[in-house]
Structure 1
Amino acid sequence: MYDWNDLKYLLAVIRAGSTAAAARSLGVSQTTVARRLDALEHALSTPLFERMPEGFRPTKLAMDLLPLAERIEERASRLSDLASAHARHSRQVLRVSTTSLLAAHLLPDLLAHYRHEVSEMTVEIDTSNNASDLVHGEADLALRLGTLPQNPEIIRSRVGISHWTLYASRDFVKTHGIPASPEALIACPLAVGEGALARILPLQRLSELLSSHPPAYRCDSPEALIALVRAGLAAAPLPVWLAARDETLVPLPVSACNVAAPIWMLCHERNRHVRHIEAFRKVATLRLRAMRRQFSEPEKALDQAAPSLDFTGPAATGNPS
């Protein structure tokens, strides 16, 4: 009987292309990789690789076994994740997955209210680029924006609407004026997203608007985007609930990037009756619904800013005033 653990060496060599690269990916020695492959071949009574001067070449059988080995790997990973989730619960640990933007500017308020209900918990915050898998137990709860994949095992609650619109600093407006049309906006320095940030709908809209015009800045983090706008270096789409708190920022009267994205609270159904998880879900849901007035629509934000700005005259054309 073969050792299931040896399948990871088979997968690593096929994926990496050599035993040396596989050893680096697994954090073991090249000798260990070769030894475990020999043991797997001996247990299966058949060669899985041709030993060539340039390295190990998988046989047809190895490639036929690949999808089966990947399914075993996926199930083993799921088993490990679910066991880790159970261990978290027994240690009174809550793991929340969200975006870096929500973690920095929204989650602390929710946690402050949660602490009034459950004070003994350790809270882990996951802001990795890849959304944690609630089905596999990588996280207990998630806060997400926008459209989500459908899964009947996931309990989802829409707890708010995040409106985005174009913002600039007051210093930016003094220098570049207030663009009142898409054509005037394109003449201004703009910041767009890079990587995962480029997939956010309002930033996609801005990139489409620019078309053949290169942006002044590209960045792959919301924090960098906000910093550029606050520094007066560029205009960019920002969530109204965040930008409206900053008196140095003003919304721009160009609706091309006005987008509304729902805010979702996600939880796997198996965690419905886990006390500390359900407590956070209820507290956060109530708090976010109470905060809805902060998630203003772009038109309301513009109306609030208008008294302190002059939206008429040369600045409205996008020319420096």
Structure 2
Amino acid sequence: MDNKTSVKEFIILGFSGVQEYQNLLFVIFLMMYLITLTVNISLITIIRYGQQLHKPMYYFLGNLSFLELGYISVTVPKIMVDIPRKIKSISFPGCFTQLFFFTFFGATETILLAVMSFDRFLAVCYPLHYTSIMSQKVCFILAAASWVLGFLTTSFPIIKISELHFCSANIINHFFCESAPLLQLSCSDTYFKELNVIVCASSVILSSILLTMTSYIYILKTILRIPSTSSGRSKAFSTCASHLIVVILFFGPGIIIYVTALPRTSMGVNKWLSLLYTQLTPLLNPFVYCLRNKDVKRRGLYCRIMISTFRMFHIDSV
């Protein structure tokens, strides 16, 4: 940073547009955060101590839940602290620290979801060789590669954004420090910085989607070759359904924000789209896997509680 950057802190607007509902928002975010922590920690514990769950799919699922814990903890505690405050500020270093970890967890999860789709591809298309291919060592390498690649693809664009100059404007129309509003606030020429963000985000998201789509094309071909009267078809589909639902929930808003319209999309629209993958996805993922997975369902009291809750709202567990 040099003297051209005069901004020492940023003001986060958050949800100040609905000022009369601030107490309700605090309760909603608190309940969502506590439930998300509980179900993800419970799922990690079940996978860790359930001997029959020591399989590649559950190993990756444990990593996914751990990522979700970091993902939501980067944003929600700060939101809850800010809600009662009239001036919702965050320091310059604090803003970029939040931006880095949020982007890091998001990029890592994107890559991990692609790895999980490859795992499902091997399980369905090469069941006889699956155990020998997806050994414990290979699982560790793939999971570690997701974290390393997430870090590497995050570091470069965040460093470039931190090199921007911020002269006077410091109001972020979002509920956390995110790349798009920061780029709009800068008094520097942001063209190449925006290009860096778009290229890095697109390379991670689109390559992960390409791998996922390719895996599911082969999975679908394999499933269609299974006789319809066989139970193998429904079993094969069941092993992939949970992951496919999570992929749709996570990638949908991310594509809109980071690939198709950055930073031209309205910040108000970005804010509400961001809620889907920053708050709802970490909350819903354990429910999705629990409701659709018999192995996990058998091993957790919290799963039975979730199933009962969903049935109260007429959501069938299939």
Q: Does the TM-score normalized on the shorter chain lie above 0.5?
A: no
Relative to the length of structure 1, the TM-score reads 0.22
**Hey, which of these two has a bigger chunk of strand by percent?**
1
- Structure possessing the higher radius of gyration over alpha carbons: 1
- Name the structure, 1 or 2, with higher relative contact order (CA <8 Å, separation 6+): 2
**Hey, which of these two has a bigger chunk of helix by percent?**
2
